[in-house]
Structure 1
Amino acid sequence: MLPVKRALRHLAALVLAAAVATVPAATAHASDAPSSGWNDYNCRPSAAHPRPVVLVHGTFGNSVDNWLSLAPYLEDRGYCVFSLDYGQLPGVPLFHGLGPIDTSAGQLSAFVDKVLTATGAAKVDLVGHSQGGMMPRYYLKFLGGAAKVNALVGLAPDNHGTTLSGLTNLLPYFPGAEDLLTATTPGLADQITGSDFLTKLNEGGDTVPGVHYTVIATKYDEVATPWRSQYLTGSDVRNVLLQDLCPVDLSEHLAIGLFDRVAFHEVANALDPPHATATSCASVFD
């Protein structure tokens, strides 16, 4: 009985998060916060790293907090690094990625154009965590992004939706819960396995020609579940399980994007395949 009660509490928290999203607040947006050196529009890509890297945060994330470790990691390796806020809801500061995902993809499109104009680069590489690794696929597939993107690297992306460890199966038993999610936080509703958004996104194949795809997953993921649903199918896809690289890595959904340097090393490999080196537990010292 205890697991059931725990599941109900988690589900209640999910619905509560949607309700909280309707409460006004007066706090600075993440875009107003210092970005520790990245988002420098005077940065010019080098010959070694000719493409800017655009970081795409996850649900409830923002352009700063999601990347306090990975952005400097990539900057130290000579990349021009940029990050955006997307999926904002009126009156909800700092916690983004809650708006309709097709609209968020349009925001990504505009941001990529801004980065390309500023840097003079021909293409960018995208690195996203959670929704941020899945949402760009809409941009690539439906908004012309494939012509402007070389690679998409997803850290724990919910490419085929999520069951939240089975909790979403309980939604029909809570009258009004699904309607509340859709009305107040459509970005959450879009990510539930079987949603109309995901059906459209994955119809006709997971990938588009010309883009290199990498998925980095952890078997301890408790958010984008089941974790194997994160994997993509296509001719130019590399699916990686973190524990195949480092069996003692216990990172779950948040950790893989926030501070896991084994995952970061694999991101660096995906951005520069000709100079890739073996990723292992020792990569935490890179």
Structure 2
Amino acid sequence: MKFSSIAIACLTLAGAAVSTSAWADKASLLRATGNVPERAECPANTEVNRSGGVLKCSVTLVFERGSICPPANKPNYVTIQMAGADKCLPAVTGDVVSVPSAMNPVAGPPKLKGQSGLPGDIMGYLTAVGPAALLGPDEGRYQRVVNPGGADKFVAEKIVHLWPASYPVHYTLGKNPANGVSCPNGYNDVTGRSQDSLGCERIEKKRPMCQNVNGIGWRLEVKRGEDRCQGPTEGPTKPEGEHAGPGNDWDLDTDAVGNEDRWVRVSYTRPVGR
């Protein structure tokens, strides 16, 4: 039963029957289907970490650099040998030993780990994070990958955290996507079947009450089923302290054994950046 101006005045009307825990049915359905309003969801092709009420979205970028000669400290070792691990040989051969090949100082464009390139949607999310997201890691992070039948390469990985998909820009100001998003105070995190998303739910409960209308009072009668306001006439209750108006989306949780009912409101909001 939705709370309305009729409920405030406790007028004599033949109200529709109220199902027990209608609010719970609605909230449970939203959770079970994952259709919680305003939830935050990680973009496609991203890695998801959801723990302790915090949702984090990330991608692993792979950077590659080629194997070249000469090394900076051996300018005369210009010939590359690709048998096993690449080596550099001097221009004039003799008894001089070879040295390991060097790493190209310029990396190629990054790839998404497990893919041959960088999907366009991920490129858009990385651009939103900032230009530094596409920069390769420090040189010390690169490891040689030996190619027995060809040129070696040097490979490094970098984890970049992203904001959830379609996340409002003003929610990100002064925040770091590496810290993820979480529910604001007063809201609990709910997920349903969607493990790559986070929704925020608040459940408010209030006692039923009756009020005076034009100086005439009503009293609350607790009944098995729906509690009612009794006075010169009979009418429905309202949530304690509430007044009718747009957006007051209250449901009545009736008690089947004769205890006092409760008015319940379930509201949702978007997780906030941390």
TM-score of the alignment, normalized to the shorter chain, above 0.5: no
- Which of structures 1 and 2 has the bigger CA Rg? 2
Relative contact order: is structure 1 or structure 2 higher (C-alpha 8 Å, sep ≥ 6)?
2
**Length-normalised TM-score, structure 2:** 0.21
